[in-house]
Amino acid sequence: MISISDIEAARSRIGSYVRHTPVLPVSQWRDPLPFRATLKLELQQVTGSFKARGAINRLLTLPPETIAKGLVTASGGNHGLAIARTGYVMGVPTKIFLPSNVAPDKLPKFKGWNADTVIAGDSFDECNVQALAYAEQTGAAYVHPFSDPFVVAGQGTLGLEILDDIPDVDVVLVAIGGGGLAAGLGTAIKARRPGVKVIGIEPFGAPTLHASLAANRVVTLDKIETRVPTMASKRTDERVFELIRAALDDVVLISDDDMARAARSLWFECGIAADLSGAATLAALQTGAVTVAPDQHVCIIVCGAGTDGQS
Distance between CA atoms of 112 and 90, rounded to whole angstroms? Answer: 15
Contacts of 210-218 with CB under 8 Å at 24 or more apart are: 210/251, 210/252, 210/253, 212/236, 212/241, 213/244, 213/245, 213/251, 217/241
Numbered ranges of CATH 3.40.50.1100 in the chain? 4-50+148-310, 52-142
**How does pLDDT run along the chain (311 residues), one tens digit per residue?**
999 999 999 999 999 999 999 999 999 999 999 999 999 999 999 999 999 999 999 999 999 999 999 999 999 999 999 999 999 999 999 999 999 999 999 999 999 999 999 999 888 989 999 999 999 999 999 999 999 999 999 999 999 999 999 999 999 999 999 999 999 999 999 999 999 999 999 999 999 999 999 999 999 999 999 999 999 999 999 999 999 999 999 999 999 999 999 999 999 999 999 999 999 999 999 999 999 999 999 999 999 999 988 87
| Per-residue confidence (pLDDT) for residue 255, from 0 to 100 | 98
Phi, psi dihedral angles at 207 (to 5 degrees): -85, 55
Q: 3-state SS string over 247-273?
A: HCCEEEEECHHHHHHHHHHHHHHHCCC
pTM of the model: 0.95
The gap from C-alpha 284 to its chain's centroid, in whole angstroms, comes to 16
Residue pair 251/176 in contact by the 8 Å Cβ criterion: yes
In single-letter form, the type of residue at position 217 comes to R
The class (CATH top level) of 52-142 is alpha beta
Q: Match domain 4-50+148-310 to its CATH number in 3.10.310.30, 3.40.50.1100, 3.30.980.10, 3.40.190.10.
A: 3.40.50.1100
